[in-house]
Chains A and B, each alone.
Chain A
Amino acid sequence: MSNITEHEFARIITLPIALPQTSLPPGQTVAVFSHRLSFGQRLSIRWATLGIVNADYEDVDVTKLNSNLGLIYAGIYAGIYIPTQPPNGDPIASVVLDGVGYAQLNPFTLWNFVSPDDYYFVVANNTNRTFHAVLTGAAQLYYA
């Protein structure tokens, strides 16, 4: 087991991925985390829990905008994010929910990003109904 120096510890930062309970209208996406990763940095994402607190879709047919994903999902994207449009394609990693309840990113699968780029964590309502969602997580940033 290796030890960590004061210098190394000062270069490890925990960044929040947080969305308090928020009403998401049909097709709405919310950017909850943004980070510009530079050369020599590593962004590590392991913990994120997404919840649907309540929804108004009961007894109503729900149509998904992207059939690959859940009713609500939280996902990591890289590159250009256009907030006025649904995210382009499937996220690099995601937490999906198909009903009221909670789900988490698999904490045993560490997502490490080292390519210099802009990284976003968005929560998206993938349906034609309104949902109330909450997201709590953290990202670890390592730099030289």
Chain B
Amino acid sequence: MALITRLQFDNNIDLPISLPATEIGAGDWLTIAAVKISATTTSLNFRCLNLNLLKVTTTGGDPVKIDASRGWVYTSLAHSVDGIETGHYVDASALGLTAHTLSSEFDGNTVGVYTITIKNNLSNASIWASVTGQFRLTAAV
């Protein structure tokens, strides 16, 4: 097993994905983090994301989902300004904490912008949520 060199260590940085408890209106969304990759020699590794659904306030009746295939709220990793989803997301349809599986990694080195967004997938309720996660950026040695 190879040991890492000082140069390899220096070429890594962990970038935060952090949203303190925030209210998101019905159908609304927020960009929590954005990382621009400008050279294919830089790679982004994503694996850790925790979505904490704190509160749901409906305007009456049961919550109504906009996208039936997703939960009440979801946080997803997308690429480029067009927001092409990478398939890595965490969604929740109940109060409490939901975590992305650490063993399900995403490695990307396509030039462009990677974003983490949180979307309130309910048309009749506002939600409170917090998010904690991390990207690791690695430059080629």
Contact = CB atoms under 8 A, between A and B. Distances in A.
Given A5-B4, A19-B20, A14 B14 contact: yes
B99 A36 contact: yes
Interface string B15-54: 0111011000000000000000000000001011011101
Contacts, number: 86
B3 A5 contact: yes
Contacts of B134: 13-16
A101 interface: no
Interface residues of A, number: 33
A88 B126 CA distance: 25
A31 interface: yes
Nearest to B133: A15
Nearest to A122: B21
B102 interface: yes
B132 A6 contact: no
Nearest to B33: A16
Interface size class of B (residues with CB under 8 A): 20 to 34
Contacts of A92: none
Contacts of B55: 83-84
Contacts of A22: 20
A57 interface: no
B50 to A, nearest CB: 5
Interface in B93-134: 96-99, 102, 128, 130-134
Given A13-B136, A34-B131, 5 more contacts: A3-B3, A5-B2, A10-B45, A14-B134, A30-B130
22 contacts: A3-B3, A5-B1, A6-B2, A7-B1, A9-B9, A14-B134, A15-B16, A15-B132, A16-B134, A30-B20, A32-B130, A33-B18, A34-B97, A35-B97, A36-B50, A38-B102, A41-B102, A83-B21, A83-B54, A83-B55, A84-B55, A120-B52
Q: Shortest 4 CB-CB distances between A and B: which pairs?
A: A16-B16, A34-B52, A14-B14, A36-B99
